[in-house]
Amino acid sequence: MNANLKKRGAWIAGIVAVLALVPVVAGSFTVSLLNDIGIGALVALGLVMLTGVGGATSFGQAAFVGIAAYATAWLTTTQGMSPWIGLLFALLLTGLSALAIGMLTLRLGGHFLPLSTIAWGLSIAMLFGNVDALGRHTGLSNIPALQVAGWSLADPRAMYYLIWVVVGLACLFSHNLLQSRPGRAIRGLRGGATLLASVGADAYRVRLSLFVTAALFAGLAGWLYAHMNRFVSPSPFDVRASIEYLLMAVAGGLGQLAGALVGAALVLVLKNGLQDVLPMLTQRAGQLEAVAFAALFILLLHFARGGVMGLLRRWTHRRGAPQGPSRHEAAPVEPLANRTLPARGSPVLSVNGAVKRFGGLVAVNDVSFDVKAGEIVGLIGPNGAGKSTMFNLLTCTLPMSAGQVRFLEHDIAGLPQRQVARLGLARTFQHVKLRPRMSLLDNVALGAHSRTRSGILKAGLRLDRTEESQILQEAQRQLDRIGLGDRAHELAGSLPLGTQRILEIARALAADPVLLVLDEPAAGLRRKEKMALGDLLRKLREEGVTILIVEHDMDFVMKLVDRLVVMNFGSKLVEGVPSAVRADERVQAAYLGSVV
């Protein structure tokens, strides 16, 4: 890791040095091109985060650039205000528009979100062209140049430094953000709302805050654009421009922040090249340019989905990227605060008359049972008995048709899943929900979401470092607890499926739960791994964690649990200690053919 960091530091220092020298040696054409690239990169950076990391595609990002550009243009030309007040106004307006648009559209699933982004992109650009105060299609001109401490930035060479300092800071902000509590939630978005809810996070709010952040990056770009060109008109902010920004992000690589820089450079250099070459070939250069870009898009999607950075990464990996130490090592910090666990034997969970109907099918039919603090209770039954459905009812993943569930002193039936998680009920999934491209450490750290508070601004500005150290220390501790402590920096996707289930337990433990509910944790484990899992669960019981386990493997359950609840055809069949359940004729009949 250290060698890696040094190498990366050297690269960044080199790039900064070259960028700083450019205006001294290059001609004004190159400087203007680099200014455009910087502004494009800023927008694309937001898109890498929104689309690449968060999984929400926006075809309307240029509209946010436009809102900011017009906001500062209007304020500085018609109202005679300072461009710095223009900056505040531009960001405020962009942020509020993004908030409003996001609230209207981000709940839309599937293809509806990208479609609605096209709609707002079109309508905002149309608005610019039709409002008298914004100069209609002629736009607004005579926008003042920026002044920094008495220095005019009217010269593109001066503007160049401001633009690239802003781009650098935005990259730093984004980098910090991704390595933080809110960043992990953002990276978790692609895992689905249920995954985030299971750690107490609200996927909609995470997506909304990411959307506003990406829009603010675009807004910053718009402000720079307006004071660089000193003139705004509607066309640079239409849907065509939005697609160009998206193309930058895709071409550079949606997987990495640097993709935004590389992509912006690639697209704008290519565009300039085409504008030089195409007119020699045809009279209709404008249309051909669009065709050339469409072709580039299709080629990329076919051959290099990861963009230029994706190709580079594959290439360096083939050469064998250096492997660092795999533990998270850091100076010890004060641990995160723990919940007080209820006294052994006091009621933790109480299910009363639970019913779940799917249309005509009654999957869970009037089931009642209790779980007391410090117990391991097994929920078993043949396939289709309704165990998973019961599991979803008591974690509030599915709404109940009738009945009550009490968890500690709360009636939780009908609460959103994330609130139940926050009360101290942590779960794992029968179909593993990990983020395969995140490290083991990050996956487990995601579990501590509800115990911590830092938001996007704090994380981006690195004001969250104390809490972040606490989170990572906690994640490492949980990894040690499950025996994967020496693989903290490996990717979760590289683990075998059985081990991924165990990793989910560590993530659940990072939430410091009162009750741990596990759906078939032993599935896919080998015998030795099952024994280790059994030992782990017994150890947790000793530490006071209460466990409810839904399991198929009878042998495994019988040796582990204090009590069993057996379900069959949606109803509770018997309840009791393992030996009594094993001897019960009804259970044997229900499991006929399988070994009990």
Q: Tell me which residues touch Mg ion (CB under 5 A).
A: 388
328 near ligand ADP (CB under 6 A) = no
Question: Please, what is the minimum distance in Å from the beta carbon of residue 347 to ligand ADP?
Answer: 25
Report the partner that residue 389 touches, choosing among ligand ADP, Mg ion, none (CB closer than 5 to 8 A by kind): ligand ADP
Is the CB of 288 or the CB of 558 nearer to ligand ADP? 558
**Residue matched to tokens 């099952």:** 530
Is the CB of 82 or the CB of 365 nearer to ligand ADP? 365
Report the partner that residue 363 touches, choosing among ligand ADP, Mg ion, none (CB closer than 5 to 8 A by kind): ligand ADP
The three-state (H, E, C) secondary structure of 524-551, written as one string: CCCHHHHHHHHHHHHHHHHCCCEEEEEC
Q: What are phi and psi of 189, to 5 degrees?
A: -55, -40
Burial of 519 (0-12, 13-18, 19+ CB in 10 A): buried
Phi and psi based region of residue 159 (left: phi greater than 0; alpha: psi -120 to 50; beta: remaining): alpha
Residues 389-408 that bind ligand ADP (CB under 6 A): 389
Q: Which of 60, 253, 386, 485 binds ligand ADP (CB under 6 A)?
A: 386
Residues 329-358 that bind ligand ADP (CB under 6 A): 358
Token digits of residue 581: 């359940």
Q: For residue 459, which amino acid is it?
A: A
- CA of residue 508 relative to chain centroid, distance: 18
DSSP character for 495? S
Is the CB of 442 or the CB of 551 nearer to Mg ion? 551
Q: Which of 279, 286, 384, 455 binds ligand ADP (CB under 6 A)?
A: 384
Is the CB of 381 or the CB of 485 nearer to ligand ADP? 381
Stretch that binds ligand ADP, among 39-47, 182-190, 293-301, 383-391 (CB under 6 A): 383-391
Helix or strand holding residue 288 (H, E): helix 285-303
Report the partner that residue 385 touches, choosing among ligand ADP, Mg ion, none (CB closer than 5 to 8 A by kind): ligand ADP
381 near ligand ADP (CB under 6 A) = yes
**Residue matched to tokens 């043949």:** 382
Mode of pairing for the β-strands spanning 376-380 and 546-550: parallel
Report the partner that residue 151 touches, choosing among Mg ion, ligand ADP, none (CB closer than 5 to 8 A by kind): none
Report the partner that residue 548 touches, choosing among Mg ion, ligand ADP, none (CB closer than 5 to 8 A by kind): none
Question: Please, what is the minimum distance in Å from the beta carbon of residue 525 to Mg ion?
Answer: 16
Is the CB of 18 or the CB of 361 nearer to ligand ADP? 361
Q: What are phi and psi of 497, to 5 degrees?
A: -55, -40
Question: Please, what is the minimum distance in Å from the beta carbon of residue 378 to ligand ADP?
Answer: 13
Token digits of residue 355: 């019913």
Contact 20, 144 (CB under 8 A): no
Burial of 323 (0-12, 13-18, 19+ CB in 10 A): exposed
Which residues are registered as beta bridge partners of 330?
A: none
Is the CB of 145 or the CB of 574 nearer to ligand ADP? 574
Question: Please, what is the minimum distance in Å from the beta carbon of residue 355 to Mg ion?
Answer: 18
Is the CB of 388 or the CB of 568 nearer to Mg ion? 388
- Other beta carbons within 10 Å of 252: 31
Is the CB of 262 or the CB of 379 nearer to Mg ion? 379
Burial of 528 (0-12, 13-18, 19+ CB in 10 A): exposed
Report the partner that residue 537 touches, choosing among ligand ADP, Mg ion, none (CB closer than 5 to 8 A by kind): none
Contact 386, 363 (CB under 8 A): yes
Distance CA 538, CA 547 (A): 10
Residues 356-375 that bind ligand ADP (CB under 6 A): 358, 361, 363
388 near ligand ADP (CB under 6 A) = yes
Residues interacting with ligand ADP, by CB under 6 A?
358, 361, 363, 381, 383-389
